[in-house]
């Protein structure tokens, strides 16, 4: 019988694979669309209308579908200016604070983007040529920002629990992941 932690690990893994799969399919669709457009444009003098709009929409979806996974794995672009001077025994405090700040910022962005999605739906905003409603993509962006905020908050909690000794192994500061977390 699986334990509660095993259950949540499986749920997390399914969510991760789903987001990665949809993002990968979106990237593949972008590649196919661009290839077909270039082929049609240069060999048949007949480009696909609306390719730029579709590529822009798919690129936005790709970025925001990937954001929760990046936040959970802590694979952000980062600069480690203070790592060499920061005491190793206090890394967990730094990571808790950083993740709390990032979580708050993501939550603020999610709320603002959701409001923009509501406005786009009310006003009937659509793309210029293909007339695709913008609101649905904006809602997707807000949902992914909120999910990223929650996952970053959970990451802060993991650092806190491991830093105070509640979690002994398997947390972000575990020796097998290095002293700074997943991104060493």
Instruction: Tell me the chain's radius of gyration from C-alpha atoms.
Output: 21
Query: Is the model more confident about 45 or about 180?
Result: 45
Euclidean distance between CA atoms 106 and 86, whole angstroms: 26
Q: Reduce the DSSP state of residue 126 to 3 states and report it.
A: strand
Angle between helices 135-163 and 91-123 (to 10 degrees): 160
Domain ranges of the chain: 4-177
Query: Is the model more confident about 179 or about 146?
Result: 146
pLDDT value of residue 126: 93
DSSP string, 104-133: HHHHHHHHHHHHHHHHHHHHT-B-TTT--B
Q: 110: closest CA among 137, 143, 135?
A: 143
Euclidean distance between CA atoms 78 and 177, whole angstroms: 17
Q: 148: closest CA among 96, 77, 92, 70?
A: 70
Query: Is the model more confident about 167 or about 138?
Result: 138
Query: Is residue 147 scored above 80 in pLDDT?
Result: yes
């Amino acid at each position: 019988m699986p334990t509660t932690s095993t259950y949540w690990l499986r749920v997390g893994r399914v969510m991760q694979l789903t987001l990665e799969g949809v993002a990968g399919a979106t990237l593949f669709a972008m590649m196919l669309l661009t290839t077909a457009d270039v082929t049609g444009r240069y060999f048949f003098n007949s480009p696909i209308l609306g390719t730029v709009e579709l590529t822009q929409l798919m690129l936005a979806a790709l970025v925001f579908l990937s954001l929760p996974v990046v936040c959970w794995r802590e694979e952000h672009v980062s600069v480690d200016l203070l790592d060499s001077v920061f005491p190793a025994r206090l890394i967990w405090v730094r990571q808790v604070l950083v993740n709390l700040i990032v979580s708050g910022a993501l939550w603020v962005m999610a709320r603002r983007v959701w409001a923009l999605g509501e406005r786009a739906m009310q006003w009937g905003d659509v793309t210029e040529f293909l007339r695709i409603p913008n609101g649905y993509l904006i809602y997707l962006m807000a949902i992914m920002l909120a999910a990223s905020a929650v996952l970053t908050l959970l990451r802060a909690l993991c650092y806190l629990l491991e830093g105070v000794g509640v979690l002994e192994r398997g947390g972000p500061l575990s020796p097998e992941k290095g002293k700074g977390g997943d991104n060493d």
